[in-house]
């Protein structure tokens, strides 16, 4: 089962950032609000940590060490930021709103070549620590990364908008 | 949170409004952008005056801002309207955007620059599921403009043409987000009174050359409400 993690402070935002991901995953999945996660009760192997609104930064105050209990994690936008912080990568103030080109720079199971993606954030990575593999770039921004030695992926854009196949491939990869 | 709803008076903005209220938010005001050019007013926003009646039916203030056709003019009007909404205590904006990244990015940028929260509760919804939901939830909705779909849909109550609109998938957007049609909500659960249309006329939709729009070459046609009133609901 895939845990679809909501970081949204306001439940109304789940209609915008969580429901679309839930609809793409199909199969066995459930939506869990981050503050409701009980680490000792995690039974899922995979998690998708969804994005949230531009003005929402509540999640940056929370502890996400429980994500290490999952085997496969896909962090979307705010979820990418959560993974970055969990592995001590430094986020920069980098506002990006709208559709932009993304270029794949390293072979990976989720995407390839060049594609258009929808962005909505004001924080992202410009550089990564040694234990991160940069998978894609959008100008000077790390648009996608993998944490070395783990099946943890972060994408700074919202694949649910223009690239649902990325979410589908992640679910396939995790064997769900 | 107190919210401003970007309000066209159609099914999507009304459903977005209903979802915001059901999530426990309070509506500070509705914001309606009113085109000043005659062509735009007649063909794209035929019944913009009715938003005043809708706001009265809901019991919330309406901010109405005139805007030109150009991109920069409509953005300026949106910004001006949202600044006024902030004066009424709005901390965020609700839109009925479904799939247009162009429209969504525009709203997000303006909200970001004004330090407003932005809510798009219909974002990426299946278009047919939206049609079904508004019908199932008791919205009384009429089609008031067609462009690219058959003129006979004009004036139809959505609940009577739901199946036909759903079957358009594949060659037209069943929710009309591509401009295939526009709707006017006469009643929905938040309305304390409902709107009754007493007199209307149909403009356009004949001839061959003027106002052709849409893949099927069907003429633009609009139903302009000449007279309407609010009546108590039973």
Contact criterion met (CB < 8 Å) for A99 and B23: no
Q: Is A160 part of the contact surface with chain B (CB cutoff 8 Å)? A: yes
Architecture of the domain delimited by B2-232:
3-Layer(aba) Sandwich (3.40)
Predicted local confidence at residue B211, as pLDDT: 40
Pick A54's closest partner by Cβ from B101, B108, B126. B108
- Comparing CB atoms, the residue among B23, B111, B124 nearest residue A12 is B23
DSSP string, B8-28: -SSHHHHHHHHHHHHTT-EEE
Provide the pLDDT for residue B35.
Answer: 78
Which residue has better confidence, B69 or A99? A99
**3-state secondary structure string, chain A?**
CEEEEECCCCHHHHHHHCHHHHHHHCCCEEEEEHHHCCHHHCCCCEEEECCCCCCCCHHHHCCCHHHHHCCEEEEECHHHHHHHHHCCCCEEEEEEEEEEEEEECCCCCCCCCEEEEEEEEEEEECCCCCCEEEEEEECCEEEEEEECCCEEEEECECHHHHCHHHHHHHHHHCCC
Q: What mean pLDDT is reported for chain B?
A: 86
For B123, name the nearest residue in chain A, comparing CA atoms only. A16
pLDDT in tens, B45-78: 667 779 999 999 999 999 999 888 788 888 899 9
| Cβ-based neighbours of B122, under 8 Å, separated by 6 or more | A15, B12, B15, B16, B19, B96, B97, B98, B130
- Give the up-direction half-sphere exposure of residue B97: CA atoms within 13 A in the CB hemisphere: 20
Q: What is the pLDDT of residues A104-159, one digit of tens each?
A: 999 999 999 999 999 999 999 999 999 999 999 999 999 999 999 999 999 999 99
Backbone angles phi, psi at B49, to 5 degrees: -65, -25
- For chain A, what is the domain count? 1
Tokens of B39: 């062509």
Residues A83-97 pLDDT 10s: 999 999 999 999 999
Looking at residues A12-40, what average pLDDT do you find? 94
- Domain boundaries of chain B, sorted by first residue: 2-232
* Residue A161 at interface with chain B, using a CB cutoff of 8 Å: yes
In B, which residues are within 8 Å of A16 by CB distance?
Answer: 119-121, 123-124
Contacts of B105 in chain A (CB under 8 A): 97-99, 118
Range of the domain at A147: 2-173
State yes or no: pLDDT of A79 exceeds 70. Answer: yes
* Residue B17, pLDDT score: 98
* Best mutation target, A15, A21, A52, A117, to test chain B (most B CBs within 10 A): A15
The domain that holds A138 is classified in CATH as: 3.40.50.880
Nearest residue of A to residue B98 by CA position?
Answer: A16
Confidence at residue B149, expressed as pLDDT on a 0 to 100 scale: 76
Interface test with B, best of A9, A14, A16 (most B CBs within 10 A): A16
Rounded CA separation A156/A73 (Å): 14
Task: Give me the pLDDT at residue B212, please.
Answer: 39
Task: Report phi then psi at B37, rounded to 5.
Answer: -75, 140
Alpha carbon B184 to chain centroid distance?
7
On whether any CB of chain B is under 8 Å from the CB of A164, the answer is: no
Mean pLDDT of chain A: 96
Low-confidence stretches of chain B (pLDDT beneath 70):
37-46, 170-171, 205-219
pLDDT confidence of residue A27: 87
Report the C-alpha gap between B214 and B154 in whole angstroms. 15
Distance CA B193, CA B56 (A): 8
State the pLDDT at residue A41: 80
Phi, psi of B54 (to 5 degrees): -65, -40
Percent of chain A topping pLDDT 90: 91
Rounded to an integer, the average pLDDT of A40-62 is: 92
Distance from CA of A21 to the nearest CA of B (A): 10
How many contacts, defined by CB atoms under 8 Å, are there between A and B?
Answer: 59
The reported pLDDT for the residue numbered B206 is 56
Rounded Cα distance between B25 and B189, Å, is 16
Confidence (pLDDT) at B205 = 64
Supply the DSSP string of B18-54, one letter for each residue.
Answer: HHHHHTT-EEEEEEEEEE-SHHHHHHT-TTTTHHHHH
**Confidence band for A47, pLDDT divided at 50, 70 and 90:** very high
């Amino acid at each position: 089962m895939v845990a679809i993690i909501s970081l949204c402070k306001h439940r109304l935002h789940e209609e915008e950032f969580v429901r679309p991901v839930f609809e793409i995953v199909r199969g066995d999945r459930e939506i869990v609000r981050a503050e409701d996660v009980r680490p000792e009760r995690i039974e899922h192997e995979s998690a998708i940590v969804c994005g949230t609104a531009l003005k929402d930064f509540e999640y940056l105050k929370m502890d996400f060490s429980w994500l290490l209990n999952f085997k496969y994690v896909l962090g979307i936008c705010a979820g990418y930021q959560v993974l970055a912080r969990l592995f001590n990568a430094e986020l920069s103030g980098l506002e990006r709103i709208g559709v932009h080109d993304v270029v794949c720079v390293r072979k990976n199971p989720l995407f390839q070549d060049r594609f258009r993606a929808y962005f909505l954030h004001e924080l992202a990575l410009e550089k990564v620590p040694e234990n991160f593999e940069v998978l894609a770039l959008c100008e000077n921004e790390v648009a996608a990364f993998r944490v070395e030695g783990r099946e943890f992926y972060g994408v700074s854009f919202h694949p649910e908008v223009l690239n649902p196949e990325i979410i589908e491939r992640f679910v396939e990869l995790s064997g769900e | 949170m107190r919210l401003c709803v970007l309000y066209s008076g159609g099914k999507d903005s009304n459903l977005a409004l209903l979802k915001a209220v059901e999530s426990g938010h309070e509506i500070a005001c509705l914001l309606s952008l009113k085109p000043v050019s005659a062509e735009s007013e007649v063909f794209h926003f035929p019944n913009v005056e009715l938003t005043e009646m809708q706001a009265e039916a809901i019991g919330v203030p309406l901010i109405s801002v005139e805007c030109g056709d150009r991109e920069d003019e409509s953005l300026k009007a949106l910004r001006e309207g949202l600044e006024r909404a902030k004066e009424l205590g709005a901390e965020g904006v609700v839109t009925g955007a479904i799939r247009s990244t162009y429209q969504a990015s525009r709203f997000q940028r303006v909200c970001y620059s004004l330090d407003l929260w932005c809510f798009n509760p219909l974002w990426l919804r299946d278009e047919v599921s939206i049609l079904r939901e508004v019908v199932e939830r008791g919205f009384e909705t009429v089609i008031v403009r067609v462009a690219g779909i058959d003129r006979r849909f004009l004036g139809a109550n959505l609940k009577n043409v739901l199946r036909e609109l759903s079957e358009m998938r594949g060659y037209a957007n069943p929710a009309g987000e591509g401009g295939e049609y526009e709707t006017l909500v006469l009643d929905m659960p938040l309305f304390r009174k409902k709107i009754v249309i007493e007199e209307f006329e149909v403009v356009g939709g004949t001839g061959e050359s003027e106002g052709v729009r849409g893949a099927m070459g069907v003429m633009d046609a609009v139903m302009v409400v000449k007279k309407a009133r609010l009546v108590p609901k039973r």
